[in-house]
Amino acid sequence: MSRIIAPGAAIGVLGSGQLGRMFAIAARRMGYRVHTFSPDHDTPTGQVADVEIHASYDDLDEVRAFASKVRVVTFEFENVPAATAEAAASQCEVRPRGEVLHITQNRLREKRFLRKNGFPCTVFDEISTLEELVSATGDGKLPAILKTAGFGYDGKGQRLIRTPGEAEAAWRELGGQPCVLEQLVDFEREVSVVAARGAGGAFAHYGVVDNAHRNHILDVTVAPASVSEKLAREAVEIARAILEALDVVGVLCVEFFVTRDGRLLVNELAPRPHNSGHFTFDACVTSQFEQQLRAVCGLALGSTELLRPAAMANLLGDLWSNGEPDWAAACAFPDVKLHLYGKLEARNGRKMGHLTALAATAQEAETMARAARESLGPKP
């Protein structure tokens, strides 16, 4: 049985974006103190945390000093160097453990893990040279997507290759670094499962949700997903098995493709709360952020009951292109919740906030979320 870290203790967060902000809000509501560590000042997390440390992730002395002042360290994004997690672990518990971070922050290691453990995933080739890419793209596997092995998200570090003649340009554009070449999947929809695993192995999940993307960035999530009970059970079973295989303590999101013939393929893993789980902040008994806190502190996991069907619509920096969005218009929808992340600069494609709509049905919630966002001004 894991030792419980009780309210009043300090929790460390590596990273300082919106995920850390919502985690800090949940933690402070339960009486914990929150320390955040990142290279930036006046961050979304830092604005609501008790302590904001500004230092490089490569400054391991600062990392160790940070970790020495908290009871447990967790992550709000996975692109933290493995050495950083290791330095923190020398001073306190790190959850999920650094090995989970090491595997999931690199597409190649993640794909190897999925394949080795028999989880359904996209067909892929490991690419380390241009010659390997040219050979792979000549094997009848096109169209395919070339993805950098490390540090890619929201469509960054990806190039679509339709013909063999496009291979060299794609390789050069991605910097000639190790990559994964994934066969393009003819999918019917994209779904995800956000789940949690406690220190004692307890498991909880938020069901299957539908995800719609725009320009490779999550646009709208709808809960629950419009899928069969059989497929929903299978997705949850895969998620549980992945958390167990990785020995996760914390929250992890499994993103899936649903093929046109009804198969599930794991697309990506995220060892932290996820954009597609933001609706839980308003629509569930226990949000994904409180669940992360409960898991890393050794507390019992909370109920994931969905109180009402919900939809989440991302607010990107594009909305600010003609000035400040019309917040009063969105707030005129009584069943819509506004969340802004406190980011100091709006840029195209940057996640600045989100709206959550609650309704009697998932379809009504989606319609309402989109209408409320439309009322803000320019389309995202």
- Residue pLDDT, tens place only, 145-178: 999 997 666 567 889 999 999 999 999 999 999 9
Q: Say what percent of the chain tops pLDDT 70.
A: 97
- As given in the structure block, the two tokens for residue 325 are 């969005």
Residue 96: asked if its preceding bond is cis (omega within 30°), the reply is yes
Assess whether pLDDT exceeds 80 at residue 246.
Answer: yes
User: Strand 336-340 and strand 310-316: pairing?
Assistant: unpaired
Residues 58-72: what's their mean pLDDT?
A: 98
Do 155 and 246 lie in a common domain?
Answer: no
Do 157 and 212 lie in a common domain?
Answer: no
Size of the chain, expressed as the number of residues it contains: 380
Q: Does residue 87 fall inside a structural domain?
A: yes
Count up the domains in the chain and report the number.
3
Assess whether pLDDT exceeds 80 at residue 247.
Answer: yes
Do 259 and 348 lie in a common domain?
Answer: yes
Q: Which candidate, 239, 241, 240, 243, places its Cα nearest to that of 255?
A: 239
> What's residue 141's pLDDT?
78
Q: CA 80, 101, 15, 210 torsion: positive or negative?
A: positive
Per-residue pLDDT tens digits for 68-123: 999 999 999 888 998 999 999 999 999 999 999 999 999 999 999 999 999 999 88
Do 191 and 174 lie in a common domain?
Answer: no
Do 171 and 24 lie in a common domain?
Answer: no
Do 281 and 242 lie in a common domain?
Answer: yes
Q: Does residue 136 fall inside a structural domain?
A: yes
Per-residue pLDDT tens digits for 275-322: 999 999 999 999 999 999 999 999 999 999 999 999 999 999 999 998
Range of the domain at 138: 123-183
Per-residue pLDDT tens digits for 310-364: 999 999 999 999 899 999 999 999 999 999 999 999 999 999 999 999 999 999 9
Do 223 and 359 lie in a common domain?
Answer: yes
Distance of CA 287 to the CA centre of its chain: 14
Do 201 and 157 lie in a common domain?
Answer: no
Q: Does residue 113 fall inside a structural domain?
A: no
Among the candidates 162, 183, 204, a domain finishes at 183
Q: Does residue 270 fall inside a structural domain?
A: yes
Per-residue pLDDT tens digits for 231-242: 999 999 999 999
> What's residue 152's pLDDT?
61
Assess whether pLDDT exceeds 80 at residue 23.
Answer: yes
Residues 177-187: what's their mean pLDDT?
A: 91
Per-residue confidence band for 254, with pLDDT thresholds at 50, 70 and 90:
very high
Q: Which candidate, 99, 62, 105, 48, places its Cα nearest to that of 80?
A: 105
